Amino acid sequence: MTAYQSIQKVLFNHCDPAGIVFYPRYFEMLNGVVEEWFEEALNCSFAEMHLNRKTGVPTAHLEVDFKKPSRLGEELIFEIGVEKLGGSSADCVFAVTGRADHVLRFEGKLTLVYFSMETGRALRWPADLSQALKTFIISSKEQENNNA
């Protein structure tokens, strides 16, 4: 398995007056990468989920360790994979590095929960999403290599 990768450029709207990413903007960027992952790699866009299936995947838990600041104009490589797939949740791990210097900027874990927008309750992953998510399960060995 290879983690899903996305390259994101640090834009002016991500930064404070010193040209450094203001940390809440990382969460917006990460959420955008999750949305992109679902559309491009899992074949289920947020539009499909929200408008047709009446479902969503809110973040139920988020842990982050910030390592080094990022600056305006830099490109960042976001990588995300599944650590554990439950009946209605996915525990994911992510790491973000600088594209030019390969230095870790931040890393963490997030839990996504598949839920009904109509009832607000968790649902079991449908077969198509469950199968697609399984292709992104990261082994413990891969996690150790990523954290080295």
Segment 129-140, tens digit of pLDDT? 999 999 999 976
Residue 147 confidence (pLDDT): 47
Q: Which residue type sits at 44? A: C
- We report the CATH number of the domain holding residue 98 as 3.10.129.10
Task: Label residues 85-114 b or e (16+ Cβ within 10 Å = b).
Answer: beeebbebbbbbbbeeeeebbbbbebbbbb
Q: Which residues of the chain have pLDDT under 50?
A: 1, 143, 146-148
pTM, to two decimals: 0.90
Give the total number of structural domains in the chain.
1
> Which contacts (CB < 8 Å, 24+ apart) does range 37-40 have?
37/4, 37/6, 37/80, 40/4
Taken in order 38, 41, 80, 139, is the CA torsion positive or negative? positive
Give residue 18's domain range.
4-147
The CA-to-CA distance between both ends of the chain, in Å, stands at: 18
Q: What is the pLDDT of residues 9-29, one digit of tens each?
A: 999 999 999 999 999 999 999
Residue 139 confidence (pLDDT): 78
114 closest CA partner among 99, 128, 98, 96: 128
